Structures are given as C-alpha cells and as structure tokens.
C-alpha cells in the first residue's frame, strides 16, 4: 500500500488533492504535515479546508482518515517522527505564495524545500518526491510557447520574488539531490473548480473579472492566458503519484495550446454567462500605461476606498503577467495519457455563479497581495541560484508596500 506524505493540505490545491484522493483512491494512506498546536487542531484545519468541497459532516469524516504530523516543513530535517520513515511518496505543495515578502518567501520555498528533501533522503521506501513548482519560473521574457526545458534559468528576470524562490528551489533540488526520485510539476495559473466554481476558493478570479469589467486587455485582445482548474490539477497530481514510471522529470500542468484562454473567446462566453453591455469589446493597452489603467479603473470602480486603491495596484501587477501572452506547452503530460484540462470558458459561468462581488473577492485574496511586486522598470536583480541552503538569492529593494485596508494610497 502506498503511504503518501502531503505538505500544504490546508492550502487551495492541497485541499483539492486531499478531497480527490480520499474520495477516489481510498486505498492509500495519507499523512499530512500541518502547522497546528496539536494533532486534533491540525485535523480540524484540514476538515475546514475539505468542507469547501463537500458537506461539513463529510469533511469531518474524511479528515478522520488522514494521519496528522504536526510540524513546519521548513524544519523537516529535524523531525524524528518515525511515522515519516515509511512514506512511499511525497507530494510537496506547501509554499509561501505571497508575492513580495522576499526573505521569508525565499527561506520557506527554497530553504524549507531543501530541509524537506534532506528528511526525504532518510525515507528508505520513498519512490517519488513530487515537488510542485510553478510555470511562472519563466520570469518576464518567455517565448510565446514554452516547453519544460528552457527554465529555470539563472538569467531570468522575475516579476516577483515568489517565482524566483521557486526557480531556486528547483535548481537546488536537481543539483543537490541527484539520488532522490524527484519529479517536478509546474502548474500554470490555477483558477476555480470545473464544477464547484469559486466555492473552494476564488483566488485570481477577481483578476479576470476585473479585466473584463474594465474591458481592458494588456497587449493583444487575441492574446492568451494559461489557466487551469484546481480539480484538474489535483487529479493530475494524484495520478502522477500513482504512476510507477514517468518519462520525464519535469511537467507543465497547464492548459497548453488546446485549452488556453483567448481573451476574445472568453469575452464571447461572458456575453452569454454574464450578459452586461454586450457584445463585449475589449480595448488593448500597454500594461506599463498606468495613466490609461487608472482612468478606466477610476471610472469603473472608483478610487474612494482604500481597498479599491489596493486592488488597483494589485491589478497593475497582474496585468503584467497577463501581458506575457505565454502558453505553457503540455505535450509531455498529454502524450503520457493524462487528460487535458477543460478551458476556462467551459466553467467560467460556474465560477461567476458561485462568486460574490469583485472587490470582496479581491479582499479574500488580499493576504497574498499585502506587499506589492516590483514596479515596472525596476527589475529585480538577476537571480542567483545557490546550491546550498540559507544563501541569499535576491537582493531586491525595489518594492513598495500596498498598505493594508484602510491606509492605502494610490
């Protein structure tokens, strides 16, 4: 029987993984490494996350079926708990996903991951360490269609410290743990659930809805964004754990050419599922044109509350990601028989049905955005990718705070 150690079970994707696994692959044992005061508190945190996918009662039942190891994965190499020794697969999802608190993000995502890898080296039965990275390790200048071979690249210029820390983790894992059965999964942008919509978490949906409400597309209105639903990511990760053989070490978990989202197509879908001033027409703008964005934003949302100011600044940053117009090639995954994700247009209606106001959604996502990314023109220094834990990766000083609700200023 497989015995799977999961980090990040209380997070967006971790909850989806656990829900999918416990309802579809009940023969495996799941061990969750969770931050909590004790095992029962950890179990309750997991039940709370699972309840976004099912009834409270069922979530409680499912949570009873997992083993809880209380701990912080960044200290994993100091964990003597013998329950970890018999793990056969490890799915490492836990990360600091905030965009800017760079030292902490680096310490967690790079240093912490190496600590977990050192502990994994003592798991004698381990046959897969599935590390979840991000396709956004490409930084700000990827080609239009990107396969898995080009990055991580020490020369990449990152838009945010988060992606730099994930790139550093991948590089150090590959270089320092050659004997570990490492596979890297790189999801693109994870948004919504293909049947539950925004219920498990509305993260990033507000961005798409705000771009739509503004009728502004950064770059080309026929450009694309690579978006995948959370349940597809979860199912794919669980299947990757179960496959005894995978042909490659690194995989994009992405929409790819078949399922990517073209703004113009999305607009036609939204005309149907969210009819408002139809047919929609999106104006194009350069994401560096702050004045154009500010004028449109002020007219549509207003700038009369601190939360709206904060949302404006976060949106500016997201527009820079949207402007990348990159498709993450998923040929590797599909050619090994994994199913393709549904395109966003298939389930955006469900997301909208199950979501509230755009500004409330932004507020929910605000934790990750408490600090602003690098203003355009002030590039982060080139990423140095250290092979040893603890070394500094970035020396970025260019960030300015997005102040918390109540104190923000444009």
Ligand X SMILES: NC(=O)c1ccc[n+]([C@@H]2O[C@H](COP(=O)([O-])OP(=O)(O)OC[C@H]3O[C@@H](n4cnc5c(N)ncnc54)[C@H](OP(=O)(O)O)[C@@H]3O)[C@@H](O)[C@H]2O)c1
Residue numbers at the binding site for ligand X (CB under 6 A)? 7-8, 10-14, 35, 72-74, 93-97, 108, 112, 132, 134, 166, 187, 189-190
Q: From 188, 191, 269, select the one nearest 229 (Cα to Cα).
A: 191
H-type helices in 275-387, by residue range?
A: 290-300, 306-322, 331-335, 344-353, 358-365
d(CA 201, CA 307): 19
* Nearer of residues 102 and 280 to ligand X, judged by Cβ: 102
**Using the 8-state DSSP alphabet, how is residue 371 labeled?**
B
Q: C-beta of 186: minimal distance to ligand X in Å?
A: 7
Residue 207: CB minimum distance to ligand X, A: 11
CA 298 to each of CA 176, 292, 295, 321, 384: distance values in angstroms, whole numbers, following the listed order:
50, 10, 5, 21, 39
Pick between residue 166 and residue 209 the one whose CB is nearest to ligand X: 166
Distance (Å) of CA 88 to CA 28, 34, 123, 179: 10, 18, 8, 15
- Of 119 and 280, nearer to ligand X (C-beta) is 119
Give least dist CB 14 to ligand X, A: 5
In terms of Cβ atoms closer than 10 Å to its own Cβ (0-12, 13-18, 19+), residue 227 is buried
* In the complex, minimum distance from the CB of residue 74 to ligand X, in angstroms, rounded to a whole number: 5
Check residue 109 and report its DSSP letter: I
CA 390 distance to own-chain centroid: 24
Q: Which is nearer to ligand X, 91 or 309 (CB)?
A: 91
- For 223, 235, 249, 326, 335, the CA distances from 226, given in Å and listed in that order, are 10, 18, 21, 7, 19
Residue nearest to ligand X (CB): 11
Min CB(99)–ligand X separation in Å: 11
Least Cβ distance, residue 330 to ligand X (angstroms): 14
Query: What does the alpha-carbon distance between residue 64 and residue 125 come to, in Å, rounded to a whole number?
Result: 25
Which lies closer to ligand X via its Cβ, residue 95 or residue 309?
A: 95
Nearer to ligand X, 254 or 316 (CB): 254
For the bound state, the minimum distance from the C-beta of residue 32 to ligand X, rounded and expressed in Å, comes to 9
Nearer to ligand X, 165 or 345 (CB): 165
């Amino acid at each position: 029987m497989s015995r799977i150690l999961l980090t990040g079970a209380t997070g967006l994707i971790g909850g989806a993984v656990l829900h999918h696994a416990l309802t579809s692959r009940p023969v495996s044992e799941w061990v969750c490494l969770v931050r909590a005061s004790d095992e029962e508190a950890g179990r309750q945190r997991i039940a709370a996350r699972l309840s976004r996918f099912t009834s409270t009662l069922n979530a409680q039942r499912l949570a009873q079926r997992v083993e809880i190891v209380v701990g912080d994965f960044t200290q994993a190499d100091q964990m003597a708990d013998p329950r970890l020794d018999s793990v056969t697969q490890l799915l490492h999802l836990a990360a600091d996903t905030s965009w800017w608190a760079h030292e902490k993000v680096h310490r967690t995502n790079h240093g912490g991951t190496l600590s977990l890898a050192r502990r994994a080296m003592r798991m004698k039965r381990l046959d897969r360490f599935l590390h979840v990275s991000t396709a956004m390790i490409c930084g700000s200048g990827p080609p239009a269609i990107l396969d898995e071979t080009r990055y991580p690249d020490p020369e990449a210029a990152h838009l945010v410290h988060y992606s730099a820390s994930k790139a550093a983790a991948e590089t150090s894992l590959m270089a320092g743990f050659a004997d570990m059965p490492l596979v890297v999964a790189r999801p693109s942008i994870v948004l919504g659930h293909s049947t539950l919509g925004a219920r498990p978490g509305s993260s990033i949906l507000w961005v798409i809805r705000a771009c739509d409400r503004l009728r502004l597309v950064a770059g080309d209105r026929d450009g694309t964004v690579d978006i995948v639903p959370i349940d597809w990511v979860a199912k794919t990760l669980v299947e990757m754990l179960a496959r005894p053989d995978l042909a490659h070490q690194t995989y994009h978990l992405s929409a790819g050419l078949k399922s990517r989202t073209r703004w113009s197509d999305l607009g036609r879908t939204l005309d149907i599922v969210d009819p408002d001033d139809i047919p929609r027409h999106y104006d194009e703008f350069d994401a560096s044109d702050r004045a154009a964005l500010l004028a449109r934003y002020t007219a549509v949302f207003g700038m009369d509350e601190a939360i709206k100011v904060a949302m404006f600044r976060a949106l500016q940053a997201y527009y820079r990601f949207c402007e990348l117009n990159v498709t993450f090639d998923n040929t590797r995954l599909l050619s090994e028989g994994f199913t393709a994700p549904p395109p966003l247009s298939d389930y955006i209606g469900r997301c909208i049905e199950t979501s509230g106001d755009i500004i409330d959604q932004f507020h929910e996502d605000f934790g990750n955005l408490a600090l602003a990314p690098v203003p355009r023109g002030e590039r982060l220094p080139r990423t140095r990718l250290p092979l040893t834990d603890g070394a500094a990766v970035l020396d970025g000083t260019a960030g300015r705070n997005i102040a918390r609700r109540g104190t923000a200023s444009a």
